[in-house]
Amino acid sequence: MSGDQKHHGKDASLRERAERQLISQGPSQASREHWDAKRLLHELEVHQIELSMQYDELVQTKQNLLAEMTWKDELVDWLAHSSQPSGEPFFERLARYLARALSVDFVCIDRLEGNGLTAKTLAVWCDGGFQDNVVYSLKDTPCGDVVGKAVCCFPARVRHLFPKDEVLQDLKAEGYLGVTLWSHLHEPIGLIAVISRTPLKDFQMSRSLLSIIATRAASELERVTAEEALRASEANFRSYYELGLIGMALASLGKRWLQCNDCLCELLGYPREELLQLSWSELTHPDDREADDRELERVILGEAEGYTLDKRFIRKNGSIVHTVFSVRCIRDRVGTPHHFVALVLDISYRKEAEASIRAIELQLHQNQKLESLGVLAGGIAHDFNNILGIIIGYCSLMELNPGDTRMYLPEIVKAAERAGGLCQQMLAYAGKVRVSSSTFSLSELVREVAGMLKTTLKHNVTLTKRVPSDFPSVTGDASQIRQVVMNLILNAAEAIGTEQGEIRVTLRHAVLTAGEPEFDYGGQAVPAGSYLLLEVADNGCGMDEETRARVFEPFYTTKFAGRGLGMSAVLGIMKAHRGALQLETESGRGTSFRVYLPVSGASEAVAAVEPTPPQSVEPWRGEGCVLLADDEEHVLLVVRTMLTALGFSVIEAVNGQDALEKYRIHAREISLVVADLGMPVMDGYQLIRELKSLRPDLPIVVSSGFGDAEVAASIPREQIVGVVCKPYTFEQLREVLRCATTQGAEPLFSGTQGTPAPTP
């Protein structure tokens, strides 16, 4: 519809209203005869009334415009001054202004909390004054209808629409107008509500004013909320900063302290004023500076935002404090490093705890060693007492019946040889047996041992083997490897017990690399190389964790006592052969032992091949004077008798110092020295060095109970001409001394080579 049409319609309405008013005044007093004049007069009167009505409307419009201009001017003025400092809080000023501008009895400005179902009042104006702020539920209130909407208006009867709202009932409210306050993310954060005891009249103007004011109020509410959050954050940070749990500081790019809390001052032992004159680099332990500087450079270059490391600081008093040091870089808007934030945590207590744990572990290890030593001593005592019982028993019988000496002597010799074999087991357990080295076929040895044992196993045990014959040879002591195979098979048979079971013996070639290592029973990596892998597996009872942890202890057994060192000796033999041993077991499911032996050429030869002494047609006899040094009186007596029987004269010494002094006196007479190693005052090692310094070409034979592997590892080969290992026989001593005194003969290493019995 055009503007002219609207104007025409308005004129028609005015005319109709004017005519009705004229008719209501009654008939004119003018003459009926002058109808045309009357008609004209009527029209003039109608126009007069129209003009009067238009005037009234213009006056009202002018008043409305003036009123609108007034509240808008007041609003603009209020908004212009709202940001200026004032003694009255913003929201109270706003509530006072709205009450006056809208002529209402009650104004409430709220902040929404939680999930938006509750509100906390920021200002409450009621009947010319402010009331205390409260937190209330929006349920069953008109404010609940406001949230999420632009404007909510109830011009009249609002208390009847919300009968559960006590505030509306107390106010006897009629009109209600509310508006939501929106954040810059368009989320509802608050609301403004105005309430009147009379119905709202010009609520359009009120809606407009509230809509405009809501934007400013929302902005102020966001600012206030942000400031409160910032103050809370600062308060929290300050409380953390001064709490004393951790050292905190700001530092320059040159690592100089800019700010620091009391905890850091206390930790480093400096007053704050002194500490702020130093850099953290000056207080860092010299050994930790390089790592610290390296990490800091990565941060400055932008390769990392920060770093954390364990480092030591030097306190003012010179003491060391262990810390965890964390650094983060604060950058400006363009990413340039500005300063550092550093956290310093005292971990001295942790270091002390770790040291205590290490001490406890060391003590536990010592206790375990003592326990193992006790088991070892008990087992050795048990077996040696049995052997000594045999020897003493036969000696007693010889006293009773001297004529039966030849019958009892072989039994005494056998018992002594058993004692020597037990000593060899102990040396094998320690990995100090000397390997009589030769190259042999492990395939043939395994088949030989398996074939021999197959006939002795119980009928409930099945022995199967997969042992190809085309494998490389190995270098080592065949008798000791035979002992290992026997031990493993017999242990497997005893693990099966009386149940039906199977023992599987498998031999295969294995090449180990550093990239894919294998690990032995103790978790150590097996060196890379070429190996023959012997596996002996059974489906017997298996081992629990306790048994597995103790299976390599000397004399440990789950069966019965008196079987020697068993698996501990196997382990020692493998060490002597530079091999490895693996163990897999599960209680109730069986056990698998895997033995790794280096193939010939894959590692250094373990030892030189023991030469076969030439056979003499006539028993060899010596000549000259022998210096015999040993701290055991009975050993001196026996060996002196043997040497005398061989044709030597003997000078005895009870320790190394005694032997050295007697050599200086009888140097021209002495042509050979036989010396023990473990002597008091001066041991055999030092004696050999002293004698060689006096006479480099003096022949020296070592008589030792340590085992020839220990001798070979401890004494240079060129310093001695032979080794005879205790216990030894007359013939063994004869052969060693023959080689020692025969020009051009290879030095001989000899002694009892007992074969320990297998044991689980």
pLDDT tens per residue, range 269-296: 999 999 999 999 999 999 999 999 999 9
For residue 676, the SS3 value is: coil
**107, 119 in Cβ contact below 8 A?**
no
Q: Which of 724, 725, 702, 726 lies closest to 714, judged by CA?
A: 702
Q: What is the pLDDT of residue 610?
A: 43
The mean pLDDT of 323-334, rounded to a whole number, is 91
Cβ atoms of residues 344 and 315 within 8 Å: no
Distance of alpha carbon 522 from alpha carbon 258, whole angstroms: 53
CA angle 145, 150, 156 (to 5 degrees): 55
- Cα 729 to chain centroid distance, Å, stands at 59
Q: Is a pLDDT exceeding 50 seen at residue 332?
A: yes
Report the pLDDT value the prediction gives residue 658, as an integer from 0 to 100.
Answer: 95
Residue 96: both structure tokens together: 């006072």
Is 605 or 315 the better-scoring residue by pLDDT? 315
Q: What is the DSSP letter of 516?
A: S
438-598 against 625-751: fold identical = no
Nearest residue to 209 via CA among 144, 123, 154, 151? 151
Most confident of 55-64, 77-86, 250-259, 712-721: 250-259
Please report the sign of the dihedral spanned by the C-alpha atoms of residue 567, residue 572, residue 574, residue 579: positive
Q: Residue ranges of the alpha helices (H) in 646-700?
A: 656-665, 684-694
> H/E element holding 627?
strand 625-629
Count of beta carbons in the 10 Å neighbourhood of residue 82: 16
**Hey, what long-range contacts does 203-210 have (CB within 8 A, 24 or more apart)?**
203/153, 203/155, 203/175, 203/177, 205/67, 205/68, 205/71, 206/102, 206/177, 207/151, 207/153, 207/177, 209/71, 209/75, 209/98, 209/101, 209/102, 210/98, 210/151, 210/177, 210/179
Long-range contacts of 412-421, Cβ-Cβ distance < 8 Å, separation of 24 or more: 415/387, 415/390, 415/391, 416/387, 416/391, 416/727, 417/752, 417/754, 418/387, 418/754, 419/384, 419/387, 419/727, 420/727, 420/751, 420/752, 420/754, 421/752, 421/754, 421/755, 421/756
Q: If you classify domain 438-598 with CATH, what class do you get?
A: alpha beta
Rounded to whole angstroms, the Cα distance separating 648 from 631 reads 20
Q: Percentage of the chain surpassing pLDDT 90?
A: 29
Instruction: Band the pLDDT of 27: cuts 50, 70, 90.
Output: low
Q: Indicate the range of 4-18, 633-647, 684-698 predicted with least confidence.
A: 4-18
- For the cut 90, the answer to whether the pLDDT of residue 617 exceeds it is no
Quick check: 747 pLDDT over 60?
no
Q: Position of tokens 């009234």? A: 56
Q: Which fold has domain 244-346?
A: Beta-Lactamase (3.30.450)
Return the structure tokens found at 186: 């368009």
State the average pLDDT over residues 337-355: 89
Alpha-carbon gap, residue 732 to 267, rounded angstroms: 72
Residues of the chain above pLDDT 70, percent:
78
Cα 119 to Cα 112: distance, rounded to the nearest angstrom: 4
Pairwise CA distance, residues 147 & 453, whole Å: 93
At 37, list the tokens: 């004049």
Residue with tokens 């490093």: 337
* DSSP character string of 357-418: HHHHHHHHHHHHHHHHHHHHHHHHHHHHHHHHHHHHHHHHHHHH-GGGHHHHHHHHHHHHHH
Highest mean pLDDT among 239-253, 302-316, 597-611, 703-717: 302-316
- Of the ranges 390-399, 555-564, 644-653, which is most confident? 644-653
Question: 664, 688 in Cβ contact below 8 A?
Answer: no
Of the listed ranges 104-108, 165-169, 296-300, 357-361, the one predicted with least confidence: 357-361
Give how far Cα 575 sits from Cα of 235, 423, 491, 520, Å: 66, 17, 20, 11
Q: Taking the mean position of all CA atoms in its chain, how far away is CA 692?
A: 56
**Cβ 552 vs Cβ 567: under 8 Å:** yes
Distance between CA atoms of residues 505 and 571, nearest Å: 19
pLDDT score of 376 more than 60: no
Cis peptide before 727 (omega within 30 of 0): yes
Q: Which amino acid is at 575?
A: K
Q: What is the pLDDT of residues 171-218, one digit of tens each?
A: 999 999 989 999 988 888 999 999 999 998 877 788 888 888 888 899
* Region of residue 128 (left: phi > 0; alpha: psi -120 to 50; beta: else): left
φ and ψ of 538, to 5 deg: -135, 165
| Integer CA distances (angstroms), 347 to 310, 312, 320, 520, in order | 9, 10, 11, 36
Alpha-carbon distance of 430 to 123, in angstroms, equals 89
pLDDT-derived band at 649 (thresholds 50, 70, 90) equals very high
The more confident residue out of 552 and 175 is 175
Cβ–Cβ contacts within 10 Å for residue 447, how many? 16
Domain ranges of the chain: 90-234, 244-346, 353-429, 438-598, 625-751
Partners of 504 in beta bridges: 464, 537
The CA–CA distances, whole Å, from 107 to 19, 131, 182, 213 equal 48, 10, 19, 13
pLDDT at 749: 58
Using the 8-state DSSP alphabet, how is residue 587 labeled? T
- Global pTM value: 0.40
Query: Rounded to whole angstroms, how far apart are CA atoms 310 and 566?
Result: 47
Which tokens hold the place of 246?
């951790």
Q: Which fold, 90-234?
A: Beta-Lactamase (3.30.450)
**Cβ atoms within 10 Å of 39's Cβ, excluding its own:** 10
Which residue, among 581, 461, 494, 591, has the nearest Cα to 538 in the 3D structure? 591
Q: What is the pLDDT of residue 563?
A: 40
SS3 at position 523: coil
Give the separation between CA 537 and CA 338, rounded to whole angstroms: 67
Residues 189/158, Cβ–Cβ less than 8 Å: no
Average pLDDT, the chain: 81
Highest mean pLDDT among 230-239, 418-427, 603-612: 230-239
CB 572 within 8 A of CB 428: yes
* Cβ contact 165:142 at 8 Å: yes
Q: 625-751: which CATH topology?
A: Rossmann fold (3.40.50)
334 by Cβ neighbours in 10 Å (0-12 / 13-18 / 19+) ranks as exposed
Q: Are the beta carbons of 733 and 642 closer than 8 angstroms?
A: yes
DSSP H helices in 607-681: 633-645, 656-665
